[in-house]
Amino acid sequence: EVQLVESGGGLVQPGGSLRLSCAASGFTFSDHLMDWVRQAPGKGLEWVGRIKNKANSYTTEYAASVKGRFTISRDDSKNSLYLQMNSLKTEDTAVYYCARAYNWNYDVWGKGTTVTVSS
């Protein structure tokens, strides 16, 4: 079964850091571009960023709202995707989803992990 499982969410104070993980199974993870998408409470979906595959030099791209604070990485040997979040702000509070990118859409999503930034 194709599956993505996020972990690492929790409560963090403003200015703090958190690292999210996404474990992939059931498909050849290394072949795929992978994204993070978030959803603030009661709000819509927001693209966070992308990491491409080895064939595309593991290039990363970020939304303007997180550029310079968030870093996406991957470990193909562990079938895992990561999101390092630094200098967190209250507006970063959201459910964070990892998603498999396929031909300019997202065909597989995880169930999400909740990040709360609050003092």
Partner 1 sequence: QSALTQPRSVSGSPGQSVTISCTGTSSDVGGYNYVSWYQQHPGKAPKVMIYDVTKRPSGVPDRFSGSKSGNTASLTISGLQAEDEADYYCCSYAGSSYVFGTGTKVTVL
Given the rule CB under 8 A, which residues bind partner 1? 35, 37, 44-47, 50, 61, 63-64, 97, 103-107, 109-112
| Nearest distance in Å: CB 97, partner 1 | 6
Q: In what order do the strands lie in the sheet with 70-75?
A: 3-7, 18-25, 80-85, 70-75
Comparing CB distances to partner 1, the nearer of 50 and 74 is 50
Backbone angles phi, psi at 55, to 5 degrees: -60, -25
Comparing CB distances to partner 1, the nearer of 41 and 119 is 41
| Nearest distance in Å: CB 45, partner 1 | 4
Rg (CA), the chain: 13
| Nearest distance in Å: CB 34, partner 1 | 13
Comparing CB distances to partner 1, the nearer of 77 and 103 is 103
What is the enclosing helix (H) or strand (E) of 77? none
Query: What is the dihedral sign for C-alpha 47, 98, 27, 108?
Result: negative
| Nearest distance in Å: CB 119, partner 1 | 27
